[in-house]
Structure 1
């Protein structure tokens, strides 16, 4: 019996074998097609219930099976899973097209949509109907047969290309290791980093130290290693991912993807891919995004140039370096930060034991939103590292299942993300609760020390947990509007707003305790964390804006004349560049957010959401960071509402007004008065 085709509550990971996926997905596609046929062949007049709602609830089994499969393809993949992903992705893209290009189905959806004025729908029902109608109209339902066929071909190619892109990046990440044996080669590195590198070497039966491109290895090396040549070697290796003359080169794939996206947008009547994407976002148009980015750039650039100039002077004074390179930035920034604020990341780490930080974020969720987390071992896991929790409210009502996967390993892509195994919905009067997961790549425990997080890793955990809260507290009727199913430039608000608690004394006291002495983090450190929060914010803002503007340049212009990824990038970066170019490196060939993830024409949304989060947190600061009234307003109007109404409407209901960028500029120290 195929475990994926049985009824299950939580994912039956231990029972699934690789050979189960393809037959299960084929069968689930067949079941979903039957559900669609039932809607199409219904002899009754199209209604909200027999068409709109029926369509939203269709494909449930397929969604659950594919969420298991693709989540594992990111967090616990191998050659077999990657091969299956290449086979099934075109099937799924074909199936999606079978729905959106089904004329009879669209006619029913359109009939309900055209009659919406007479239906007395709630705002959520109106949103479902509008979203459904638009997903047909925006994805080819109005095309003629020839163009529909062309659209299918494009979508099948795109699904395979983005998978291949991600596989290549992972292969390049796994292929590199730097084996060091001399003590002078690891000079400057904290003991904990050396110990972790020693354990990697030991696991490969080698002496000395091994450093990799996994973040917990790569970032400390660039931040602390005194040997400039080795920092250079690491930085160039990271920047070469997908940009080397080998089988994992992504240059052609990038050009194919952007051209296919542009062609697809044109086919659907849009000027560019960005015009297509942004029509359904808060920002609405590429022009608005570019204007928003350039306005911030105008504020950040003078600060960034000044910060860079000071950093360059500092590096020259310290080590006689004439020209600061990319592999020098983190190293000298850390030294300067330590000098200015007397703050050493390594001094902070003992106060951020992973288990304590997890308990801290749970406690904050309890104080704000009445949530309780109980670790349980009765839920099946896909890897022994994964932790599983039962989430309830203060009345002991079941809220969600929560999975957390914290450490890097070979089959796991870099970075951190939130995902879900089951969406929340209300069906047949039952509120079906969600199963939510966060996946990170944090410093592993060693033989002598538990997992001690850098402050940056602490904010990452809070960020992903903010997304998880958006999923866990979802309380909508329809799964396609539930949880994080919101405009892409609104989805980062819950995650980014939660990061703010990491800087507050009242919150830090809950979890920042020394792992050996249990001493609460000294207040002088808390003050320094706050003081240093806007350190090099001009440079950080410039960096984020440069990625967003590169994304917009790829997707808001006709890419057909682009021959060189590298030249195109250099042009896109011309206004945001601080460091000299490294000819062996390219950004786009490993820019997984936009070429593998869902952020194409959407990378700007991190900065967009920062404006929202700074404005939202200002409200908490005014009333108290654990103020129940403000927290409940945030839960009721943002976290639980998903995509049931327009984001600005939800935000204004929480905040009482539209957001202004002033709070962000103030927090970042980028208002002229603060310079």
Structure 2
């Protein structure tokens, strides 16, 4: 899963690229004073129309991005200077609240920028992105290193330690103060200068890294002919035919260089040579020794990150990054991963033995290689459980899964989703559909949900959730504009989108992020942020509802006949629940361990490719599979800093997930128990980052989570306490 959000204040630089979309009279005054031809840029303008106003996605142009960002940054810096130079004694109201209120024009511009970067990238945009990256970095540094501003923040913080504010205000002050302090606000002038220079260099490296991945995803396509389709299902063949036709290769079939296209091909294709080619294309992204090679970028990123945290007195990047996460330090994160890793690779050994036996029995005369794993795992699944994943896919229609998600949202959150007529809300591509979200009981408008489901050129791979506007109330209630984005292979006209069970879980996962946005009850924008090893918990938990009886019985129906999925097939799915967990856990954990080890190592003379090989060897990484994200295309970690030394967070969150799922499993009404669901919303979704995550979980569960439930869920031996 490649999950990324528009940055929140508590997770990235406060007030810089966070979504701060509340309105105020002061802003109107600023807008009036700036109304010249130069400032009349659509991307800066207040959103208009129904639903509290919506972005004019249908009118945005790449040419408007640069002037919008430049003017937005100029306006925001003026606001910051006004706050910093206020002659009144610093208070929460005249300092922190004013900071929460600032940056609205810029944040609107960043909303469009985010769409063009992630969903609609082009060569023209990438040039703008390269040019703007260092300017945005300079802008961030001007705020984070504003001495007068920080002294006011510090004064409010210190005052709050003696005379506490309201609970949520106290949390805001803490988060703002810690974020400034963590980013060098207290350094001397010389170190601040170097800190800003490093951030500027990193911004260019992150942009280059991302664009290199995108270039390799667009540049490598495997075309098939009719005699090379053995093993592929009819819907998949039609989708590959459309992909080829879209690229001007009529009569052929295209496997594009994205996970959603690669994965089913490796699972079902009988053509071993082509499986190897598709596998190598995908796992060599950013590692082809050409202009798009990312190894040098990674080495430079690691060196700069270590130098930067060294200015703050930290030995390594991981110690700095994890200080305000649930794990607190890299040792705790490594302890969790090391507790699971031995059981994981041991299970891989068993899985490979089973696959090799099937290959030998078939007379295939091969030794299992990474491009064989999915293919033979599928054959083992059929043999062990009489379960055919392709048969299961016939009951997993994307539209029906969406309806199932809406049902779950209604049962747990009392949300109602109603599709909005085409043309009523501007969208950035015809594939995007929009739904209104209301409270089922009161009819209160909560927000809009945008869905962008299909892969296309210029769209980064993976699946993610984001917000265009977050819930706040301190300046009048603001409703939510949330979005889910996927990369399903677009079907031929009139054909349904059939997905794997894993892809269905991912769809539910990303929707869990969206529900986290919509359930927010916080007052201040900063509190819509999150702690990285906690924010995946809510979304991972929502995956569990896919396999509940109410979803299976009502929404898993055959795409041709409309017949519900047979009970016997459901039983096979449940019996095979822990099947292939060696593969799933090992490919993920290898990436998480590599992320941490890279940032704990001395990067002075690091050879990235060699370090990856040697580290995996030390871990006894099975040769039959690779990391989920090989280092040269590990965008979570090297296209920015959101998941750097934090990829372990999925497993940390999964400990919480497995433990919380037991609370539902033990409840009288199971996963639809009203009392447990109310506690889920009250303590785990609505507070966002207004409450310390550990405290929030204890309020829900009555105790801390433990690892036992996670190990049981994966079918691994439970460690002795």
Match in the other structure for 1:498: 542
Q: 1:397-454 CA distances to partner (integer Å, 9 max, x unpaired)? A: 11111111001000101110011111221133x2212211110011322145211222
Structure 1: unaligned runs, 5 residues or longer: none
Runs of 5+ in structure 2 lacking a partner?
Answer: 1-39, 48-52
C-alpha distance in 1 between matches for 2:382 and 2:636: 32
Q: Which residue of 1 aligns with 2:449?
A: 402
Instruction: Say if 2:592 and 2:648, in contact at 8 Å, map to a contact too.
Output: yes
Give the aligned partner of residue 664 of structure 1.
710
Give 1:302 deviation, angstroms: 2.5
Q: 2:634 aligns with which of 591, 594, 603?
A: 591
Shift of 1:576: 4.3
Give the match for residue 490 of structure 2. Answer: 444
Instruction: Give the alignment of 1:49-448 within 5 angstroms.
Output: 49-183=93-227, 185-203=228-246, 204-376=248-420, 377=422, 378-394=424-440, 395-428=442-475, 430-447=476-493
Change (3 A) 1:227 1:34: same
CA deviation string 1:23-65 (max 9, x = no partner): 1111111111121112112111111111122112221221222
Q: Name whichever of 471-480 and 309-318 sits farther off.
A: 309-318
2-structure distance, mates of 1:17, 1:333:
46
For the 8 Å contact 1:324–1:579, the answer to whether it is kept is no
Q: How much has 1:194 moved relative to structure 2?
A: 1.5
Seen in structure 2, the aligned counterparts of structure 1 residues 502 and 586 have a Cα distance that, compared at 3 Å, is closer
1:5 partnered with 2:49: no
Structure 1 residue 249: deviation in Å?
0.8
TM-score (norm 1): 0.96
2:506 corresponds to which residue?
460
Query: Structure 1 332/95 Cα, relative in aligned 2: closer, same or farther at 3 Å?
Result: same
Q: Does structure 2 conserve the Cα–Cα contact (< 8 Å) formed by 1:444 and 1:450?
A: no
The answer to whether the Cα contact below 8 Å between 1:443 and 1:452 also exists between their aligned partners in 2 is no
CA-CA distance at 1:551 after TM superposition: 0.2
Q: Distance in 2 between matches of 1:654 and 1:498?
A: 16
d(CA) in 2 for partners of 1:334, 1:48: 59
Corresponding residue number in structure 1 for 2:31: none
Deviation at 1:600, TM superposition (A): 0.7
Return the offset for 1:479. 0.7
User: Distance in 2 between the 1:452 and 1:83 partners?
Assistant: 37
What is the aligned partner in structure 1 of residue 610 from structure 2?
567
Match of 1:542 in 2: 586
1:133-178: CA deviation from partner (whole Å, max 9, x where unpaired): 1111111111111111111111011111111111111110111112
RMSD, matched Cα: 1.8
Aligned 8 A contact 2:144 2:180 in 1: yes
State the secondary structure of the residue aligned to 2:416.
strand
Q: How many residues align?
A: 668
Give the SS at the match of 1:328.
helix
**Distance in 2 (alpha carbons) for counterparts of 1:638 and 1:64:** 28
Instruction: Normalising by structure 2, report the TM-score.
Output: 0.90
Q: Deviations over 1:483-515 (max 9, x none)?
A: xx1110001011100111112222222311222
Within 5 Å, which residues of 2 pair with 1:4-23? 4-8=43-47, 9-23=53-67
Question: Within the alignment, does 1:518 sit opposite 2:557 as a pair?
Answer: no
Q: In structure 1, how many angstroms separate the alpha carbons of the residues matched to 2:496 and 2:608? A: 43
> By how many angstroms is 1:322 displaced?
4.5
Please give the alpha-carbon distance, in whole angstroms, between the structure 2 residues aligned to 1:17 and 1:481: 32
Contact 1:438–1:464 (CA under 8 A) maintained in structure 2:
yes
Deviates more, 1:282-291 or 1:306-315: 306-315
Deviations 1:185-209 (A, max 9, x none): 2211112221212222233143232
For residues 643 and 673 of structure 1, the distance between their equivalents in structure 2, rounded to whole angstroms, comes to 32
**Per-residue deviation, 1:182:** 4.4
Instruction: Tell me how far apart the structure 1 counterparts of residues 679 and 478 of structure 2 sit (CA, whole Å).
Output: 23
> Shift of residue 88 of structure 1?
1.7
